[in-house]
């Protein structure tokens, strides 16, 4: 089994969680994790693994921290 | 008639002369308005080397061709003057409603010259322009001044721009506040008002801003509006959580400056995040004139309401000072707006003071009985902001900004500034493009002169590897030039998440009746950028000033997702100079100047 820390932000937290540990038997893509959490594809505006911007097809590794943001921005 | 009114209002506070003159159509076309036009006029009109706080300095309040029109976010104006913080061309942008009202009164820009013998304010009611005594307002803070002036003016729909007590005391980080909490924040522009004994400018206009081709303009407004609504950032992200939603994003990337940029991860970021602001204190959205984005927030704390806090403010008084007490951060924000100091510079200067205290340069005996400057002391940030309006003591030292403070205590390297302007809320060690932008921005360390966070963090318009230097010089140039053009148009920079040069060109063409192509828009931005560069170099700046604090060039980020990285400025600058058409010393070449018509 492999462990991934999943962090959700802004509106994605509604009816979900802020942070949770997830276990997987095989390395999932970010898309697969999002599907499991019922997060629509268009809500995956920013996906970071260990603080680095990656695409939604990125395959997660044991011990990774995945941060998912909906469309956000500013300055 | 187009949306450029062709009218400059000049008020000389030394002589009391008030008159209007025609705005040059050539300058208007080449520099658009706002930042570009104001910068060109300042460079042409003030002698090199003058004291920014003398009567010789001028203060321009400049709208753009789209200010006061129905174009989305068309409420912006720019304050342009020689900066008392660092002697460069200062151009501080503000929203709210004041800029549009100046246009409704019939003026593209107001030029304030000279210096009044006693405190005064300027009252503008269409053609009726008066200089009035302001002795009764001197010593009052911004909300009280606004209340008193609205009563005196006899029209609550008038708009007030004014300085607080910090501007009166010539704080070099003083801002100009309009519409109670909208700020022309950076570069100490409030001190120039203070030095001129000018407390406020009240304006009320009764005219509508016409456009040259109403039908086509309407179509382009509709198109721009649709693009802003459809875009994830401007249509969803900013409206939902405002700018402070960035706290968690930037912290997750390990570039959220903490304890005066000693670290890039703040363990308590969640407590000061946009999500926390929305959950605990936000009462309503507070949009500017004709803005479909409505990123502005209005928060209430202990029964006192106020605008903000913005992302930059939450950072400056939050993680940069090691503070996770959101209530204290919001109180410090309100205090800044009341006394009239820039929230970025004020928070960052207190953060520098905290590091000076940590390392023993500043001692308890220096603090005149004020709160100790330990990291995380929420009481300290509120109290020290209020004391920035003091005439003497440590508060008065803070009011001079971080560079002067750190130098006064013999540790200039602890000031996180570029060209004396306090850096904003992104550590450049994890952002090669954004760091280059800090080093080369004409007003000093600034994030809104070429917001490389957009491609390097938000993936807009496309995602770039933030640690890579490849292609970054080119990206920075285009971002800086387009930003200068937007800053000249009268629209908000945030529209650029959704709009490009062509959309701005279409809006400008149909509003003004003067033909702008997308290339013309970018060329105007580049012209503006070079005028600013030449002004700064005439004031004694050189390529050696295109740099970053030593910490970012020599001390690798200690921990977190950006661990081990330094900023690679030296590798980026030669390429940047080359594509700008500047020589190896960073001076614009004759060839490029000629191409730009300078």
Q: How confident is the model at residue B94 (pLDDT cuts 50, 70, 90)?
A: very high
- Please report which confidence band the pLDDT of residue A75 belongs to, taking 50, 70 and 90 as the band edges: low
Report helix, strand and coil shares of chain B as percent, to nearest 5: 45, 15, 40
B205/B9 Cα distance (integer angstroms)? 14
Asked if the C-beta of A40 comes within 8 angstroms of chain B's C-beta atoms, the answer is no
Residue of A9, A12, A67, A72 to mutate for B, most B C-beta atoms under 10 A: A72
Q: Give mean pLDDT, residues B585-590.
A: 97
CB atoms within 10 A of CB B259: 18
Q: Please indicate, yes or no, whether residues B415 and B434 belong to a single structural domain of this protein.
A: no
pLDDT tens readout for residues B259-311: 999 999 999 999 999 999 999 999 999 999 999 999 999 999 988 999 999 99
B505 in any annotated domain: no
Q: Which of A71, A73, A75 is facing B447, going by the closest CB pair?
A: A75
Taking contacts as CB-CB distances below 8 angstroms, the residues of chain B near A48 are 252-253, 561
Nearest CA in chain B to A64: B561
The verdict on residue B551 lying in a domain is yes
Please indicate whether, in this complex, the C-beta atoms of B233 and A71 are within 8 angstroms of each other.
Answer: yes
Residues B404 and B351 in one domain: yes
Instruction: Give phi and psi for B275, each to the nearest 5.
Output: -60, -40
CATH of the domain at B522: 1.10.599.10
The confidence score (pLDDT) of residue B597 equals 95
| CB–CB contact A73 B274 (8 Å) | no
CA-to-CA distance for B466 and B254, rounded, in angstroms? 12
Whether residue A73 and residue B234 make contact (CB cut-off 8 A), yes or no, is yes
CA B182, CA B192: separation in Å to the nearest integer? 18
Q: What is the pLDDT of residues B317-336, one digit of tens each?
A: 999 999 999 999 999 999 99
Check whether B73 has a pLDDT greater than 70: yes
Find chain B residues with C-beta within 8 A of A43's C-beta. none
Q: How confident is the model at residue A22 (pLDDT cuts 50, 70, 90)?
A: very high
CA neighbor of B495 nearest in space, from B291, B296, B249: B291
Q: Domain check: are B160 and B179 in the same one? A: yes
A57: contact with B, CB 8 A cutoff: no
H-run or E-run covering B165: helix B165-168
CATH at residue B304? 1.10.569.10
Domain boundary among B387, B422, B457: B422
pTM assigned to the model = 0.98
Mean pLDDT of B10-23: 98
DSSP string, B246-304: HHHHHHHTT---BTTTTBS--TTGGGGSHHHHHHHTEEEE---TT-SS---EEEEETTE
Pairwise CA distance, residues B562 & B252, whole Å? 10
Task: Provide the 8-state DSSP code for B450.
Answer: S
Q: Is residue B135 part of a domain?
A: yes
The label of the residue with tokens 């390990």 reads B254
Cα(B78)–Cα(B83) distance, integer angstroms = 14
Q: Indicate the DSSP class of residue B14.
A: T
Quick check: B494 contacting A, CB < 8 Å?
yes
- The whole-number pLDDT of residue B276 equals 96
Residue B19 pLDDT: 98
Q: Which of B152, B176, B204 is the last residue of a domain?
A: B204
Residues of chain A contacting residue B460, judged by C-beta atoms under 8 Å apart: 73
HSE (CB half, 13 Å, CA atoms) of B442?
A: 32
Section B222-229 average pLDDT: 98
- pLDDT at residue A73 greater than cutoff 80: no
| B233 in a structural domain | no
How many independent structural domains does chain B possess?
3
Is B536 buried (19+), middle (13-18) or exposed (0-12) by CB count in 10 A? buried
Whether B391 and B432 map to the same domain: the answer is no
Residue B229 falls within a domain, yes or no? no
CA distance B96 to B146: 14
Within this chain, do residues B397 and B541 fall inside the same structural domain, yes or no? no
Q: Give chain A's domains with CATH numbers.
A: 2-69 (3.10.20.30)
B144 with B280, same domain: the answer is: no
Is the N-terminal amide bond of B461 cis, ω within 30° of 0? Answer: yes
Q: A12 to chain B: nearest residue by CA?
A: B275
Judge if B445 and B580 occupy the same domain: yes
Nearest-5° Cα angle at B482, B476 to B485? 140
Give the pLDDT of residue B1. 81
Do B339 and B459 reside in the same domain of the chain? no
Best residue of A19, A45, A48, A71 to probe chain B, by most B CBs closer than 10 Å: A71
Q: Report the share of chain B in percent with pLDDT over 90.
A: 98
Considering CB atoms only, which of A7, A67, A71 is closest to B237?
A: A71
Average pLDDT over residues B120-146: 98
- Which domain, by its residues, includes B573? 428-497+517-595
pLDDT of residue B226: 98
Q: Do A10 and B240 touch (CB under 8 A)?
A: yes
Nearest CA in chain A to B273: A10
The DSSP result for B19-65, as a single string, is: EEEEPPHHHHHHH-SHHHHHHHHHHHHS-TT--TTSTT--EEEEE-T
Q: What's the whole-number average pLDDT of chain B? A: 97
B92 φ/ψ angles, rounded to the nearest 5 degrees: -110, 125
Average pLDDT over every residue of A54-73:
94
Q: Tokens standing for B559? A: 């921990």
Q: In this structure, is residue B452 part of a structural domain?
A: yes
- Chain A residues near residue B311 by CB distance under 8 angstroms: 74-75
Distance of CA B178 to the CA centre of its chain: 13
B254 vs A51: CB contact, 8 Å cut-off?
yes
In a domain, B438, yes or no: yes
Same domain, yes or no: B338 and B376: yes
One domain, residues B471 and B352: no
Which residues in chain B have Cβ-Cβ distances shorter than 8 Å to A57? Answer: none
- pLDDT for B294: 96
Q: In the listed set B156, B179, B204, which residue is the last one of a domain according to the structure?
A: B204
Cβ neighbours of B4 (radius 10 Å): 26
For residue A7, the chain B residue with the least C-alpha distance is B252
The pLDDT value recorded for residue B6 is 98
- The per-residue pLDDT for B53 is 98
B476 & B374 share domain = no
Question: Are B194 and B267 members of one domain?
Answer: no
Q: Do B252 and A51 touch (CB under 8 A)?
A: yes
Residue of A nearest to B311 (CA): A75
Give B60-117 as a DSSP string.
EEEE-TTTTSSSTTTT-EEEEEE-TTTSSEEEEEE-SSHHHHHHHTT-SEEEEES--S
User: B362 to each of A52, B53, B353, how far by Cα in Å?
Assistant: 38, 28, 7
Strand partners, B504: none
The pLDDT tens digits of the residues spanning B167-193 come to 999 999 999 999 999 999 999 999 999
pLDDT of residue A36: 95
Radius of gyration of chain B (CA): 22
User: What are the tens digits of pLDDT across the range B399-447?
Assistant: 999 999 999 999 999 999 999 999 999 999 999 999 999 999 999 999 9
Mean pLDDT of B383-392: 96
CA dist B427 and B258 (Å) reads: 9
A71 pLDDT exceeds 90?
Answer: no
Q: Is B544 domain-assigned? A: yes
């Amino acid at each position: 089994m492999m462990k991934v820390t999943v962090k959700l932000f802004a509106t994605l937290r509604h009816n979900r969680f802020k942070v949770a540990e997830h276990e997987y038997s095989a390395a999932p893509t970010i898309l697969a994790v999002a599907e499991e959490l019922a997060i629509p594809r268009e809500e995956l505006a920013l996906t970071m693994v260990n603080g680095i911007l990656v695409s939604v097809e990125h395959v997660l590794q044991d011990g990774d921290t995945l941060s998912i943001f909906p469309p956000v921005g500013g300055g | 008639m187009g949306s450029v009114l062709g009218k400059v209002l000049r008020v000389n506070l030394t002589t009391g002369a008030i008159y209007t003159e025609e705005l040059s159509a050539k300058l208007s076309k080449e520099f658009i308005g706002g930042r570009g036009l104001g910068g060109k006029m300042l460079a042409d009109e003030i002698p090199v080397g003058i004291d920014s706080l003398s009567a010789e300095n001028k203060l321009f309040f400049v709208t753009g061709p789209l200010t006061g029109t129905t174009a989305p976010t068309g409420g912006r104006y720019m304050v342009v003057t020689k900066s008392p913080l660092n002697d460069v061309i200062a151009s501080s942008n503000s929203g709210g409603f004041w800029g549009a009202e100046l246009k409704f009164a019939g003026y593209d820009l107001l030029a304030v010259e000279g210096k009044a013998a006693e405190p005064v304010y300027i009252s503008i009611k269409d053609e009726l322009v008066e200089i009035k005594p302001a002795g009764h307002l001197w010593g009052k803070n911004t909300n009280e001044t606004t209340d008193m002036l609205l009563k005196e003016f006899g029209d609550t729909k008038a708009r007030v721009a004014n300085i607080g007590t910090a501007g009166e005391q010539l704080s070099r980080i003083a801002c100009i506040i309009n519409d109670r909490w909208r700020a022309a924040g950076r570069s100490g522009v409030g001190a120039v008002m203070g030095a001129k004994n000018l407390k406020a400018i009240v304006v009320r206009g009764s005219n509508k801003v016409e456009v040259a081709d109403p039908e086509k303009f309407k179509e382009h407004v509709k198109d721009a509006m649709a693009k802003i609504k459809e875009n994830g950032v401007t249509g969803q992200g900013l409206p939902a959580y405002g700018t402070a939603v960035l706290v968690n994003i930037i912290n997750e990337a390990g570039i959220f400056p903490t304890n005066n940029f000693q670290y890039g991860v703040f363990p308590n970021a969640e407590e000061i995040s946009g999500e926390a602001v929305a959950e605990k204190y936000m009462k309503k959205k507070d949009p500017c004139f004709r803005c479909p984005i409505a990123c502005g927030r209005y928060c209430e704390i202990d029964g006192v309401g106020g605008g903000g806090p913005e992302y930059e403010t939450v950072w400056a008084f939050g993680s940069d000072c090691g503070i996770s007490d959101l209530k204290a951060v919001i109180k410090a924000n309100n205090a800044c707006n009341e006394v009239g100091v820039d929230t970025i510079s004020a928070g960052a200067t207190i953060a520098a003071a905290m590091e000076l205290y940590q390392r023993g340069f500043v001692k308890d005996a220096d603090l005149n009985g004020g709160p100790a400057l330990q990291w995380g002391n929420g009481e300290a940030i509120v109290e020290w902001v209020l004391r920035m309006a003091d005439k003497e003591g440590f508060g008065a030292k803070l009011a001079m900004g971080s560079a002067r403070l750190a130098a006064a205590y013999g540790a200039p390297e602890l000031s996180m500034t570029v060209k004396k302007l306090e850096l904003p809320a992104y550590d450049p060690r994890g952002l090669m493009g954004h760091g280059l932008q800090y080093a080369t921005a004409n007003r000093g360390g600034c994030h809104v002169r070429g917001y490389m966070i957009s491609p390097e963090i938000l993936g807009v318009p496309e995602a770039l590897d933030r640690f890579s230097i490849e292609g970054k010089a080119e990206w920075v140039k285009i971002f800086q030039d387009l930003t200068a053009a937007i800053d000249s148009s009268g629209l908000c920079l945030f529209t650029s998440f959704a709009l490009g040069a062509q959309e701005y060109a279409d809006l400008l063409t149909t509003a003004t009746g003067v033909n702008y192509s997308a290339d013309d828009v970018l060329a105007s931005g580049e012209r503006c950028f070079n005028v600013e560069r030449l002004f700064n170099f005439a004031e004694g700046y050189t390529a050696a000033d295109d740099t970053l604090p030593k910490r970012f060039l020599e001390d690798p980020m200690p921990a977190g997702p950006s661990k081990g990285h330094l900023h690679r400025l030296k590798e980026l600058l030669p390429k940047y100079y080359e594509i700008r058409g500047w020589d190896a010393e960073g001076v614009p070449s004759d060839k490029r100047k000629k191409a730009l018509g300078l």
